[in-house]
Structure 1
Amino acid sequence: MFFWDQHKTITSCYELFTRKVCDRYQLTQMEYDILMFLHNNPKYNTAADIVKIRKSTKSHVSTSLKSLENKGLIERIQSTRNKKHIEIVILNKAESIIEDGMKAQKEFAKNALDGLTKEEKYMCMAVFNKICANADAYLKKYAEGENEKLFLL
């Protein structure tokens, strides 16, 4: 399937645009991605949210969050009502990284979508969202099926 082989081209291109930011601030790609995810999605501010939405592994997210915390870029705040609920807050020290990251993301989008009309951009987003929704639905069905198989054993 050509499309699936080509998605790595898009990811590689994105990483070229963001590499300058990562190098400048001595971040791994995962640390950068998490920081930008938290900025772009403020309502998803827990490690579990990052794992679930970004489809990242718990260990990679945990390691990256610890590193970001050690660098003074984020803080984890434990809920007073639920000790298991820990929110992640971006600290002021990360402002310049976020600013440069936003510029890199805009530059990437401009280049990746070059030559597309506004209508084509919306169509592309709609089709991509449908593909993702289909994949998510299948993954949920698969996970439920796997859980049922475990109970049968």
Structure 2
Amino acid sequence: MNTPGIEFGRKISAAYAALCKPLCQKLHLPQTAFDILMFLANNPGYQTASDVVEVRKLKANLVSVNIDRLVQEGCLVREADPGDRRRTLLRCTEKACPIIEQGRALQEEFGARLLEHTNEAQRKAFFETMDIINENLDAILEGEA
């Protein structure tokens, strides 16, 4: 069986960054700020700077600087968590909507380009396999394996 090597994840990340670069330049946004905005917009269950650091594995100081920038530019607002006033929630604003729309279009294009030269059966098998792998990961993390 041929499995992707260590380079596979790096290639995906580098290809995504290359595809994002023209949009980030057009929007005058650093890649990290764009990534934070897209992460928050696409994952409503994650709403804090800590979530961004933990899930995206970005350095806390880089996240902090870029969140400050997005707040100053009016793309994010900070709100107190009604359930825990010590926590600060981040919410995308209306001003961020055009950026998010363009980002989602770019992400759709990226996904389509990754699957170029595959047929429907290959895509179906790939996504079914990914679902099984995801279940296996959950079992490992839950200590059931």
How far apart are residue 58 of structure 1 and its match? 1.4
What residue is the counterpart of 1:68 in the other structure? 70
User: May I ask how many residue pairs the two structures share in their alignment?
Assistant: 140
What residue is the counterpart of 1:103 in the other structure? 105
Unaligned ranges ≥5, structure 2:
none
> In the aligned structure 2, how far is the partner of 1:126 from the partner of 1:67?
40
What residue is the counterpart of 2:37 in the other structure? 35
Whose helix proportion is higher, 1 or 2? 1
What residue is the counterpart of 1:10 in the other structure? 12
Paired residue secondary structure (1:101): helix
Of 78, 82, 86 in structure 1, the residue corresponding to residue 88 of structure 2 is: 86
How far apart are residue 124 of structure 1 and its match? 3.6
How far apart are residue 82 of structure 1 and its match? 2.2
Whether 2:47 is the aligned partner of 1:48: answer no
> In the aligned structure 1, how far is the partner of 2:74 from the partner of 2:37?
12
How far apart are residue 120 of structure 1 and its match? 3.1
RCO greater where, 1 or 2, for CA within 8 Å and sep 6 or more?
A: 1
Alpha-carbon contact 1:17-1:105 (below 8 Å) kept? no
- Percent sequence identity is 27
Unaligned ranges ≥5, structure 1:
139-153
TM-score of the two chains, using structure 1 as the length reference = 0.77
> In the aligned structure 2, how far is the partner of 1:48 from the partner of 1:123?
35
> In the aligned structure 2, how far is the partner of 1:61 from the partner of 1:20?
21
What residue is the counterpart of 2:23 in the other structure? 21
> In the aligned structure 1, how far is the partner of 2:54 from the partner of 2:9?
20
Alignment CA distance shift 1:122-1:33 (3 Å): farther
> In the aligned structure 2, how far is the partner of 1:100 from the partner of 1:92?
14
